Amino acid sequence: DVKVTQSSRYLVKRTGEKVFLECVQDMDHENMFWYRQDPGLGLRLIYFSYDVKMKEKGDIPEGYSVSREKKERFSLILESASTNQTSMYLCASSSTVIAFFGQGTRLTVV
């Protein structure tokens, strides 16, 4: 079975902190994605990557950056966390068709 693992299930950070969310997949997928999920808004794409060291902005990239130094790992970085970044963050990886998700990280910025 495909496994997508996010480093933390719950995270609490202070305003202004630099935050790293890590995601690792074990199926050699080319494509990896970071979404955030907020009530009533569904899943919104932050960044995605189709190859090592390659990244593309999604719909809401402001305040975020990403890193993909190895194929299996895709990191989301909050440069200076703010309270409006409190959300559920979901990582996904995919082959050419089907996407698989991690368990999600619920981030609270206080």
Partner 1 sequence: GIQVEQSPPDLILQEGANSTLRCNFSDSVNNLQWFHQNPWGQLINLFYIPSGTKQNGRLSATTVATERYSLLYISSSQTTDSGVYFCAGLSNFGNEKLTFGTGTRLTIIP
In the complex, least distance from residue 100 CB atom to partner 1, rounded to whole angstroms: 6
Q: Which own/partner contact pairs does 64-72 have at CB distance under 8 Å and 24+ positions apart?
A: 64/34, 66/34, 68/32, 71/28, 71/30, 72/24, 72/25, 72/26, 72/28
Residue 37 Cβ vs partner 1, minimum distance, rounded to whole Å = 8
Helix, strand, coil in percent for the chain, rounding step 5? 5, 55, 40
Is residue 64 at the binding interface for partner 1, with CB under 8 A as the rule?
Answer: no
Residue 34 in the binding site for partner 1 (CB under 8 A): no
Options 19-27, 51-59, 67-75, 76-84: segment touching partner 1 (CB under 8 A) = 51-59
Among the listed ranges 22-30, 56-64, 66-74, 78-86, the one in contact with partner 1 (CB under 8 A) is 56-64
Measure the CA–CA gap between 92 and 77, rounded to whole angstroms: 16
Residues that bind partner 1 (CB under 8 A): 33, 35, 40-45, 48, 50, 56, 58-59, 88, 90, 92, 94, 97-101, 103-104, 106
